[in-house]
Amino acid sequence: MDINNKLKTAQQTFETWKNVPFTEKQKLLAEMAKILDLEVENFGKIITTEMNKPITQSIAEIHKCALMIRYYADAENILKPDKIETEFRISQIQYVPKGVILGVMPWNFPFWQALRFAVPAILAGNTVVLKHASICFGTGNAIEDLFLKAGFPEGVFQNLEIGHAEVKEVLENPIVKGVSLTGSEKAGGEVAAIAGKNIKKSLLELGGSDAFIVLDDADFQKAAESGANSRLANCGQACNAAKRFIVQKNIEKEFLPLFIKEYQKYVASDPFNKETNLAGMARPDLADDLEKQYKKALENGAEIILPLKRISENEFIPGLIKVNSGNPILQEELFGPVGMVMIADDDQHAVTLANDIPFGLSDSVWTNDKIRQQFFIDNLEAGTISVNKSSSSDPRLPFGGTKTSGYGTELSLVALKEFVNVRTVVGN
């Protein structure tokens, strides 16, 4: 594959695509959503084959992609020029697409992550080249075919089958005007450094170690069910999964048995069986890394509630550990089926425990008291705060993190302005 030729194609397409009316672009998106729904089973099988996600969850991912695309197909055009009242005859703000944007995307939600980035960027008038995870080249090619089937011009979206070493070359190419990365803090830092050195826009959606806070006036059963699902869906391989369960001290003996019962309902099985709720991790080396982190947590004082047991090269019986503040594992992201339980004395202590980590992605708090809800909304350091529900992304609402969880916004109308130049036009 000639990377330079693909980049030149993307640039040539951009020169005409940027002038296509917003409503015409939306018609193509509506067609894309139809195709996703019609071929949902086939696309779902690609996901499960490549990264082991249970087939029902893979199919749900495709349906969510279609929902998101329809949201943008019907969205208000917030990129129209804004006319500003001044003493000048001409006085307006214009939103001009940047050009060719590189997406560096992960394997854990291979369709969702790539399309979540690409759709608003393309609707804004940019063209996109994708560097997908090495185990998801099939997904990348399927997405490129999807754009073409929907009627988009060749070059609007192209998949690059390249390795990490070639990302630098692509990002440094003068044709590429920006980059969006979803992945680890290490990868984000490296890509942001290259983008910064070359004065290019970057958007980073990185790791998380989200707090799931349960207080004494919560619906315990609902919280237990939601917490277990949030930790173990996709085998715990989600940046915004609940990872630290902060439980108020006076309900520990009542809540934990309910939570453990729900947690143990997740049993690793064949990912192509529609009854399966837990499958293996995406790669054996990721399972190796998780075991090392689990042992590190125990070596630094964590107590076993449910032992993490490896039953194949990439499958586990999910683990649950009780962790005290100060354990170095709290400075890392556990990307797999291990949950951490922490005990809080009161509301302020719960906030302190929740915030005392490098990450700030998406926290959840469970309480029926509106005053307590507002206290947590005002004091938690996260890009999203969910009340009496687990964290999840919604096409209608902005998604992004703070601290080492990244910067920039995906989803909602806000995402349409991530890869545009804001231009002032003024005069008589």
CB atoms within 10 A of CB 193: 12
Which residues, 6 or more positions from 326, have their beta carbon under 8 angstroms from its beta carbon? none
The question of whether 235 is a catalytic residue gets the answer no
The question of whether 239 is a catalytic residue gets the answer yes
Q: Which member of 50, 144, 185, 205 is catalytic?
A: 205
Q: How far apart are CA 158 and CA 113, in angstroms?
A: 15
Q: Three-class SS string for the chain?
A: CCHHHHHHHHHHHHHHHCCCCHHHHHHHHHHHHHHHHHCHHHHHHHHHHHHCCCHHHHHHHHHHHHHHHHHHHCCCCCCCCEECCCCCCEEEEEEEECCEEEEECCCCCHHHHHHHHHHHHHHCCCEEEEECCHHHHHHHHHHHHHHHHCCCCCCCEEEECCCHHHHHHHHHCCCEEEEEEECCHHHHHHHHHHHHHCCCEEEEECCCCEEEEECCCCCHHHHHHHHHHHHHHHHHCCCCCEEEEEEEHHHHHHHHHHHHHHHCCCCECCCCCCCCCECCCCCHHHHHHHHHHHHHHHHCCCEEEECCEECCCCCEECEEEECCCCCHHHHCCCCCCEEEEEEECCHHHHHHHHHCCCEECEEEEECCCHHHHHHHHHHCCCCEEEECCCCCCCCCCCECCEECCEECCECCHHHHHCCEEEEEEEEC
Q: Which member of 61, 225, 239, 418 is catalytic?
A: 239
Residues annotated as catalytic (active site), given as ranges: 205, 239
